[in-house]
Structure 1
């Protein structure tokens, strides 16, 4: 059965999903990045790893039919549908220090680091030193001289990706709050997640402020 969840602009979301579940993430209005992380339910030291994924795929750009790997080089998710075909495996989650450095802004709570941390805490996962997501709908361009450019997302209203869970997972998504960058369309809007699952899905919607009381720690590699 299909279960539908709204991820409000500037908020985080988490859910416990099961092997074989299909996750359709929809950009409701267009040009909205979704920072996506995942952890193995059986071993939360194993997590989605964009660096291992780039290494395994030998590319910085994932395509339909390819796998997203964990830090232990185990398949976690498969990209089974994609109407945009432009996402990011390079950038870390935005966080307060980034806003101070890049934009000279003091934004302590409305950022993906806080959103993801608060969302994962609902399942007992401690706040790491940093999150390294699969940045869905993010349009990062690599130039020949090695420079990086963050362009407007190519996603339009109603565009989506479908991911198949290859193991039982705790997932978290942040509707990126960054309104300073063209990379998020200079605005933050809702995302919609549809999960096709026989099981009833436990989920939470959180604000980044809920992460303020969490103690940070470094997540060990697998």
Structure 2
């Protein structure tokens, strides 16, 4: 990866963002203040019916948490992107996003007309607004990732949010293995116990990825990943044939 970014942006807390990210690109997401949460979904921009599949991602890699060395699968058995860096060591994969009612109950209700950028947006509506730009709706919101957040289970199987999991300056890098529509929200995690609504910004930067090495950790961490990358290879071969 080069040091020169192709694109940079800062997404404020309670914001949402989307972009078509090209194959061979790395998206670096930085927690600027600590305690950020980035709820993220992926779609194939050329076939929006193909999207991120959380169950296959976890089952195929025999894991509950996601971190460096893991791949994020589509529901067609392909790899949208690989996690090549995770300073936090744990990405929440199961807790989803909060809706308007949950946010209002926890932090009180505000609206944009009255409070402008200090209104208390919720992750569900934020993602819904963003996917609507591409003709998608409620039924297209699959189970999402929550970057910079960690939820662990206790001996009784209860889910527990880990406070202060992400520190200021922590980065997560995603290397994209196919062209991908990336959709994200910076609204707080649904289990965040903060007394005040946490407005936590993140910085986004796109870089050109280095060619994959033969001993790439994401490629070889599981046999299932190798098969998924082979599916990518076949998909891109078919796509190039169709373009000609």
Same fold at TM > 0.5 = yes
1: CA distance, partners of 2:141 / 2:77: 20
Q: 1:22 aligns with which of 22, 26, 30?
A: 26
Partner of 2:159: 148
SS at match of 1:103: helix
Residue 161 of structure 1 aligns to a residue in which SS? strand
**Residue-by-residue CA offset, 1:175-201 (whole Å, 9 max, x unaligned):** 124698337995121111101149xxx
CA distance in 2, matches of 1:168, 1:95: 29
Classify the secondary structure of the residue corresponding to 1:157.
Answer: coil
- Preserved CA contact (<8 Å) 1:32 1:184: no
Alpha-carbon distance in 2 for matches of 1:4, 1:181: 27
Q: Aligned-pair RMSD on alpha carbons? A: 2.6
Matched, 1:55 2:66: no
TM-score, normalised by the number of residues in structure 2: 0.72
Q: How many residues align?
A: 197
User: Structure 1, residues 43-75: CA drift from partner, whole Å, max 9, x if none?
Assistant: 111111222211111111123121111123321
2: CA distance between counterparts of 1:171 and 1:156? 24
Residue 218 of structure 1 corresponds to which residue in structure 2?
none
The yes-or-no answer on 1:84 pairing with 2:88 is yes
What corresponds to 1:71 in structure 2? 75
Secondary structure in structure 1 of the residue aligned to 2:139: coil
* Kept after mapping to 1: 8 A contact 2:98/2:123: yes
Query: What residue number does 2:9 align with?
Result: 5
Structure 1 spans left out of the alignment, 5+ residues? 199-222
SS at 1:182's partner residue?
Answer: coil
Q: Which runs of 5+ in 2 are unaligned?
A: 112-119, 210-244
**Structure 2 match to 1:103:** 106
SS at match of 2:166: coil
Q: Under a length normalisation based on structure 1, what TM-score does the superposition of the two structures give?
A: 0.79
